[in-house]
Structure 1
Amino acid sequence: MTLEVKELTGGYGQVSVLKKETFTVESGQVVGLIGLNGAGKSTTIKHIIGLLNPRGGQILIDGISLHDDVEKYRKKIAYVPEMPILYPELTLREHIDLTIMAYDLDRDKTWENANKLLKTFRLDNKLDWFPQNFSKGMKQKVMIVCAFMTDASLFIIDEPFTGLDPLAVNDLLNIVEAKKKAGCSVLMSTHVLATVQNYADKFVLINHGQVRADGTLDQLKAKFNMQKDSNLDDIYLKMSNEDL
């Protein structure tokens, strides 16, 4: 078991956005986090990575909570945000070195992994570039490289396909598949349902800060009384129309 979210309640200020969320992401599993804008996906992720403190419930990664051991907990997570966040005064090379120091990784081994990723995303000749020289898609690739070169056991990617060209999307999905085979866990929040349907093992559907449904595609079809040929888009629309 990698990620366990138990009865999670939380939000911003005095407003509770999440209401007793419970779901898991097991080792070697890709899970799609699905929901409308404002449903609570980003709030859920911010609680998992430790940017927000829960009002109730518990979040465990490999059995460890943030309060048990902050450093150990955070080293288990690699996060790719929806909007790339880079330091304008640091080159790509320095971003990689900073990540190595933050995770206390072996420099030679990690640079070997990083170089493979840099070549995959066609960034290997841009190590001395600054963020101002990168397009939005290239910045997103930098975030992906810095996340997937680590030894994290849980990879959280929020709208990972934003700004990526089709070749980069395919490259990312291949890396996700490799991490899955290596026993890592991936939590992927995205609105690109046709793509995530083909790669995720199960889905967590969030509505109004609650887990509306949790399971494989077939389990979700049964939950929503859908036909056998229904897809994730159909299920998403069915859930969304419940509020109308």
Structure 2
Amino acid sequence: MELLKVTINHAGYSGNTDVIKKVDLSVKSGELIGLIGPNGAGKSTTIKAIMGLLPVMDGKVEFAGEGRNYSYIPEQPVLYERLTLWEHLELAAAVYEMERNVFLSRAEDLLKLFHLSEVKHHLPGTFSKGMQQKVMLILGFLLEPAVYVVDEPFLGLDPRGTKDFLSHLNQARVKGAGVLMSTHVLDTAEKICDSFVLMNAGTVVAAGNLMEIRKQCQLPEGSLFECFDQLLENSK
């Protein structure tokens, strides 16, 4: 089942309306799509376009179903200075209109998973970057949406945090959720993603699973990194 379909003719800002162009991608139930590209390739701009955060957008973004059925986990934590971790969760639950008992169960389970139970009444502003990133992951997982849109989730996470994140993300996929994930960590992406969308200079230069990417690059045994490097050379 297709949960997210994106067709962007061009998008950007008032001073530059073509930051990204000709971007087509889709995410199916249970699928993890890796959005790959160098700095400035247009990955984060693509995600902003999907979230409706750009002033200029010529294209179409379709989520399956009705209402808020996606979670966005940004690259940089967005936190309120005067709210504790638990108050952040309660605020999110109120926005999502979650039933109290469902919220309490999920919140406590996620706090335990990411080892933040003991600091749930502390201010996240005092946390390390990795702990703040875990707060964003917890907020993203709280709703249990149909689609997760995740921008560079591994930044700041230690190996244990990365393992916990991937384990819970896999559980969500087993239940039918789809994931679009932007990342620079190509060795991890190669292991966990079902297929890839490779971007450069604001547009898609290749798409498909690893076998299809290898074919496009004419590297039958190439790693994702080697294919990525070859595509960048070809696009110069």
Structure 1 unaligned regions, length at least 5: 65-71
C-alpha contact 1:221 1:235 (8 A) present in aligned 2 = yes
- 1:27-176 pair list within 5 angstroms: 27-62=29-64, 72=67, 75-176=68-169
Which residue number in structure 1 is paired with residue 234 of structure 2? 242
SS in 2 for 1:25: strand
Deviations 1:114-168 (A, max 9, x none): 2111111110111110022211100000000011011311111111010011000
Q: Distance in 2 between matches of 1:116 and 1:192?
A: 27
Partner-residue secondary structure (3-state), 1:112: helix
Deviation string, structure 1 residues 29-65 (Cα, Å, up to 9, x no partner): 000000111111000000111211453220101166x
Superposition deviation, residue 242 in structure 1: 2.2
* TM-score, normalisation: structure 1: 0.92
| Structure 2 match to 1:9 | 10
2:118 alignment partner, SS class: coil
Q: Cα distance, 1:214 vs. partner?
A: 1.1
CA contact (8 A) 1:2 1:26 kept: yes
Q: 1:43 is matched by which residue type in structure 2?
A: T
Kindly indicate whether residue 187 of structure 2 is the aligned counterpart of residue 194 of structure 1: yes
Deviation, structure 1 residue 107: 2.0
Aligned-CA RMSD value: 1.3
Contact 2:85 2:119 in 1 (8 A): yes
1:74-132 deviation digits (Å, cap 9, x = unpaired): x2121111111100100011000011011111121122112111111110111110022
Q: Which residue of 2 aligns with 1:211?
A: 204
Letter in 1 for 2:109: K
What is the deviation of 1:227?
A: 2.4
Q: Shift of the alpha carbon at 1:243?
A: 4.1
CA drift of 1:204 comes to 0.5
Q: What are the Cα deviations for residues 179-232 of structure 1, in whole angstroms up to 9, with x where unaligned?
A: 11110011110000000111111000111221111110001001111122x111
CA distance in 1 between counterparts of 2:29 and 2:220 reads 30
Q: Per the alignment, do residues 161 and 23 of structure 1 end up closer, same or farther by CA in structure 2, a change over 3 Å counting?
A: same
Give the counterpart letter for 2:234 in structure 1.
E
Do the aligned residues in 2 keep the contact of 1:2 with 1:62 (CA within 8 Å)?
A: yes
Supply the distance in 2 between the matched residues of 1:33 and 1:190 (Cα, whole angstroms). 7
Give 3-state SS (helix, strand or coil) of 1:179's partner.
helix
Percent identity of paired positions between Structure 1 and Structure 2: 39
Check whether the contact 2:8–2:57 (CA below 8 A) recurs between aligned residues.
no
Equivalent pairs, count: 234
Q: After the TM superposition, which parts of structure 1 deviate over 4 Å for at least 4 consecutive aligned residues?
A: none
- Structure 2 distance, partners of 1:204, 1:231, is 15
Structure 1 55/143 Cα, relative in aligned 2: closer, same or farther at 3 Å? closer
Q: SS where residue 2 of structure 1 aligns?
A: strand
Q: TM-score, normalised by structure 2?
A: 0.95
